[in-house]
Structure 1
Amino acid sequence: MSWQIERKLAERLADETGYYKYPFGTRRAMALCYPNTYEVAMSNLGMQIIYREVNERADWLCERAFLPDKELAALYAKERSPLLTLENGRPLCDFEIIGLSVSFEMDYFNIPAMLEQGRVPVLAADREETDPLVVMGGPVAFFNPEPLSPFVDVCLIGEGEGLIHSFLDAYTAGREAGESRQALLRRLAKVPGVYVPSLYRHEYDEDGRLRAIVPEDGAPASVRRQWRELTGPGETVVATPHTEFGAMYLIEIARGCGRHCRFCMAGYCYRRPRVRPLEYVKEAVLRGKRLGKKIGLMGAAISDYPYIDELVEFIRSQGLAFSCASLRADSITPAIVKGLAESGQKTITLAPEAGSTHMRDIINKGITEEHLLHSIDLATAAGIRHVRMYIMIGLPMETDEDIEGIVTMTRRVQAHMASIGNKGKITLSINPFIPKPCTPFQWMAMTDQKTVEKRLSYIKKALDKDKQIEILAEPLRQCYIQGVLARGDRRVGQLLALAHQYGGVKGWKRAVKELRFDVQGFLYTERPVDAVLPWSVLDMGLDANYLVKELELARKGAFTIPCFDGCRRCHVCGGGDGDGMD
């Protein structure tokens, strides 16, 4: 290791509070890798929670590795150094297990690059007995891991706090028994929530459609998603100033959402909704206070937290500022916006997702324009003058009238702000809809890119000249690559592997052409509801017909009420004990 790389890693570690560091070789060793830079990775609370869970065991140590930023990448290239972990500066190939925490599709391109730089064979099929076992967790692991299946040996399906321990226990037992790599994989496949891609054969028909997923070597026919009650800690483990949220102490106050928005993968795969006890959250706030941090509240719908007003009042009584992600316009309260304003927040972020009642009914958003205007009233009264709204275009069953509805809604919001003396800015964050696995829209086609470009252009032309309105949009090329990755099968994994050879995301187009992958047919063709989907082997605990019924309700614009105590509609709760096995 060059002294320059060593110094940079040491400086980064010295700025942290709460990391674990054990002498290498005193325990079994796992490297936890996030396929993006340190600044992005250390803003991910899920990765931090798993880092703590492994390191608090008596038999394992866990170190971290990240995609090098530009400065570090130049040093690595200059020294031809393998990718090193932060704690002890060890190359990835020195570890028994490499854990990948994956949350976003565009990070897929970084995974083969990190493995290669860590001196680990990129393809699972090329790994030998002494090579590390590559294990993937995080949201995409249990939504649809197939595009990454060429690179990983094992996927953890579900929430990791409990699952990581049953996995490590089985792994340790297999290693102590002297099992071969293949025997170890068969052992691991018997652990609830563990999916071993190599033990499942994908069969295609003559038209190239996935026909069947066949388990081999005694692997289970399906792998059940694991979830648990929020009994363990859910807050910042390693505090560092060098992240997107460096000034914040992150606290997860709730997990899952019962609102049934039909486009939202997290709403279905993190079901059922759970909340952390208020007393625990208050204690976590005080731990953040001792570090001198602002409080960052994490959860799918912060304003739905049943104790939110009391929590906000407690945070402010401690002289602390707080922040949170977008708020639901139908559950926002005066206490929330007052607390945000006192914390220095200048913008209220709302997510109507669509501009027309017709479209919001289809996606089951459950909020009205009146909810939006009321939220703006509360924010304005508290001193928050700017409004940011998340909008999707290209939604299923969308019409030109729905696009006009976005413009009309924005103008009505602007007029309402003016009527109450608010001269603040409106920011529209507009992105194309991407169908996601395990949702009622998983079978739907994406709206073709030219249509989305036309509709986005129409919105910009109608609103862009107004200096009080700002329009932000993600690059469409990336969105349509995400569309392929989100619902791809193992053939998309071949695309990723070839794109890696050609330089990563910049090699995508060349790989598509060389493999003659029909991107347009893949994206723009609606799939039959009885199709075998790449993720069909994964069981989210939903009733077999539930998503089909929700799709039918979407076509009718019918409303599905939120989750409630005693609800048995989707069968996730089903009277079980919360271990994912009900």
Structure 2
Amino acid sequence: MSWKIKNYLREILDDEEGYSLYPAGIRTRFALCYPNQYSVGMSNLGMHIIYHQINAREDSAAERFFLPDKYLQKQYEHSNTPLLSLESQNPLYEFAVIGFAISFELDYFNILEMLSLGKVKLLAADREENDPLVIAGGPCATFNPEPLHLFIDAFIIGEGEETINNFLDVYLTARKKGLSRREALFCLASVPGVYVPAFYTHQYDTAGKLLHIEAAENVPHKVARQWVKNIDAYPGHTVIKSKHTEFNFYLIETARGCGRHCRFCMAGYCFRVPRNRSVAAIKAMIENVPAQKKIGLMGAAVSDHPQIDEICRFINEKKHPMSVASFRADSVTQLLVDSLAASGQKTLTLAPEAGSIKLRHIINKGIEDEHLYKSIDMGIKAGIHNFRLYIMVGLPEEDDEDIDAIIKMAIDLRNYMDKNKAHGKLTLSINPFVPKPFTPFQWMPMADMKRISSVLKYIRTSLKKIKYVEVLTESPKESYLQGILARGDRKLAQILYEAHTLGGSKSFRRVMKAHNLDDSFYLYRQRDIAELLPWDTLDMGVNNSYFVHELEMAKEQKRTVRCFKGCKRCGVC
């Protein structure tokens, strides 16, 4: 049956342009894995960037692996074939290094599934000298790797372009010297931005709180997050062109990091400082986009680029349709909106995050109602009549009045759309707030799940009879599982392992109970500022005192201004 799998993979490959394939034995093989399906993984710009970095070397070759879709899953199960790479259709266990790019906590279960399918030993402690080295990078690896510590040999902390090259230099040198697996890992632990969890011991008190983290001798007590100072030196664009991605865009990164200081946003702290690519560098990437191909501009807030209009004009001159990953309602320009409309975009997405001014001040969002109305005006002028709002519920200090403010905001905006003859749809995309590590809210409890379920039902019911208003909500159960994993400790790794053997995420809570682990310990507990946190081995460059200061600012509903030249507030600069 494996021939069906290989043919299926070759058909995908035949529809691609830009992939690399090298003869066996010339380069060290690196399995670049995305723990979700092909369409999702190939829409992740980080995958393209790291793939290029590995293959640009003369001593390593990256091949891609993805979670099989339903058809492939059946073929693998029926034939007992190990998980195969896209490029050469070789099994995962034959690769020297296996690297996962992790963007979402719920993909942790998929990591174990892919390792199992690939016939790779799940537990790092069980792997022997000739077994692959399993590493991981990406946002989740950067802010809290501990729930995966049993399975991953080494984590890349921060941005990967420079670190992956330093990692491979040390790893390949260790192999040439014939060093043992443990000796090689010890060498890797000295690479800036590489965290080897096996060299750190976590001790807990009787209440289950983390008491002490002990680093092995000659291993750094803190692992510093790495970031690229000059992003122009590392082009960020689609490397492998495929029509089977989620949106079928040619991705181009306009900026990296964010200096807005939104207090709920892990990316705003873990990937600070904000860095804009030069217009010249962006234009050079646009020049290489195939004719008529739609460009997807990527960045924390694309409209924050100081020369966004010049970029839009150049894309328009080159006759490319375009889209953006996100923009801010307080920095969007009419030319950007016009360009999106001319590209066929039917919906503008805005992210007030909350309905009340009070909550927007608490989270330091900085979006006022006037910005929403102005953005709607721009959309209508450009011929866009559908609008989507991103909203969170369960934010700190939220009360019933804040929930009513969401409903009022939706009704007021709907009335404004009707008054201005925008008869499209107003969609509210509502998600429960999940506190994340390395944010001022890292110590805060989540709102009670029963209350959140009730709130979501109340919003849906209240807006049900309003014409052309749609309410989309994320599953509270999934959000709360995400909440457990986001701020979880090492104890959860064993729970993940056993849940995997019982079928995956649906068994996670049951296994927690079997181990007498209360999910309220991870979800609803107010952590003390002085408490040792599972991720305290890592250093994002932001002073802990700054997180405390921002938490106090949130409680006082005070605004913090965005990053500015010469600023020394948080410690990163």
- Global fold match (TM > 0.5): yes
Partner of residue 324, structure 1: 324
2:244 is aligned, of 239, 242, 245, to: 242
Which whole-Å CA distance do the structure 2 matches of 1:316 and 1:424 have between them? 26
Which whole-Å CA distance do the structure 2 matches of 1:169 and 1:447 have between them? 46
Within-5 A mapping of 1:444-455: 444-455=444-455
Stretches of 4+ aligned residues off by more than 4 angstroms: none
Partner of residue 267, structure 2: 266
CA contact (8 A) 2:199 2:216 kept: yes
Q: How far did 1:5 drift?
A: 0.9
Which whole-Å CA distance do the structure 2 matches of 1:452 and 1:196 have between them? 38
Partner of residue 306, structure 1: 306
Q: How far did 1:509 drift?
A: 2.8
Deviations 1:78-132 (A, max 9, x none): 1110001111111111111100111101100011111111111001111111111
CA contact (8 A) 2:222 2:539 kept: yes
Which whole-Å CA distance do the structure 2 matches of 1:529 and 1:397 have between them? 18
Which whole-Å CA distance do the structure 2 matches of 1:241 and 1:419 have between them? 40
Partner of residue 224, structure 2: 224
Q: How far did 1:339 drift?
A: 0.7
Partner of residue 563, structure 1: 563
In structure 1, list runs of 5 or more residues that go unmatched: 574-582
Deviations 1:176-233 (A, max 9, x none): 1111111111111011111000000001012111011110132111000000120211
CA contact (8 A) 1:115 1:121 kept: yes
Q: How far did 1:492 drift?
A: 1.0
In structure 2, the residue corresponding to 1:73 is in which secondary structure? helix
Q: How far did 1:29 drift?
A: 1.1
Specify the code of the residue in structure 2 equivalent to 1:370.
E
Which whole-Å CA distance do the structure 2 matches of 1:185 and 1:202 have between them? 19
Q: How far did 1:326 drift?
A: 3.0
Which whole-Å CA distance do the structure 1 matches of 2:110 and 2:319 have between them? 41
CA contact (8 A) 2:299 2:326 kept: no
Which whole-Å CA distance do the structure 1 matches of 2:307 and 2:245 have between them? 29
Within-5 A mapping of 1:79-478: 79-228=79-228, 229-230=230-231, 231-246=233-248, 248-290=249-291, 292-478=292-478
Which whole-Å CA distance do the structure 2 matches of 1:16 and 1:522 have between them? 43
Partner of residue 579, structure 1: none
Q: How far did 1:545 drift?
A: 0.5
Which whole-Å CA distance do the structure 2 matches of 1:17 and 1:522 have between them? 45
CA contact (8 A) 2:348 2:379 kept: yes
Deviations 1:435-491 (A, max 9, x none): 001000000000010111111111111102223100001111100000001000111
Partner of residue 49, structure 2: 49
Q: How far did 1:10 drift?
A: 0.8
CA contact (8 A) 1:309 1:335 kept: yes
Deviations 1:26-64 (A, max 9, x none): 111111111111111100110111011001101111111
Partner of residue 511, structure 1: 511
Which whole-Å CA distance do the structure 1 matches of 2:325 and 2:542 have between them? 28
Partner of residue 18, structure 2: 18
Q: How far did 1:493 drift?
A: 1.0
Q: How far did 1:418 drift?
A: 2.0
Paired residues, number: 571
Which whole-Å CA distance do the structure 2 matches of 1:469 and 1:159 have between them? 39
Specify the code of the residue in structure 2 equivalent to 1:240.
S
In structure 2, the residue corresponding to 1:250 is in which secondary structure? strand
- The alignment-based identity, stated in percent, is 53
In structure 1, the residue corresponding to 2:288 is in which secondary structure? helix
In structure 2, list runs of 5 or more residues that go unmatched: none
Which whole-Å CA distance do the structure 1 matches of 2:454 and 2:419 have between them? 32
Which whole-Å CA distance do the structure 2 matches of 1:4 and 1:439 have between them? 47
Q: How far did 1:315 drift?
A: 0.9
**TM-score scaled to structure 2, two decimals?**
0.98
CA contact (8 A) 1:186 1:217 kept: no
Which whole-Å CA distance do the structure 2 matches of 1:543 and 1:277 have between them? 29
Specify the code of the residue in structure 1 equivalent to 2:240.
V
Which whole-Å CA distance do the structure 2 matches of 1:432 and 1:169 have between them? 42
RMSD: 1.0
Deviations 1:126-154 (A, max 9, x none): 11111110001111111000011111000
Q: How far did 1:421 drift?
A: 2.0
In structure 1, the residue corresponding to 2:568 is in which secondary structure? coil
In structure 2, the residue corresponding to 1:63 is in which secondary structure? strand
CA contact (8 A) 2:298 2:326 kept: no
Which whole-Å CA distance do the structure 1 matches of 2:17 and 2:293 have between them? 12
Specify the code of the residue in structure 2 equivalent to 1:238.
I
CA contact (8 A) 1:154 1:197 kept: yes
CA contact (8 A) 1:24 1:88 kept: no
Deviations 1:240-284 (A, max 9, x none): 0111022x1000000111000000000111100001111121121
Specify the code of the residue in structure 2 equivalent to 1:462.
S
Q: How far did 1:505 drift?
A: 1.1
CA contact (8 A) 2:263 2:439 kept: yes
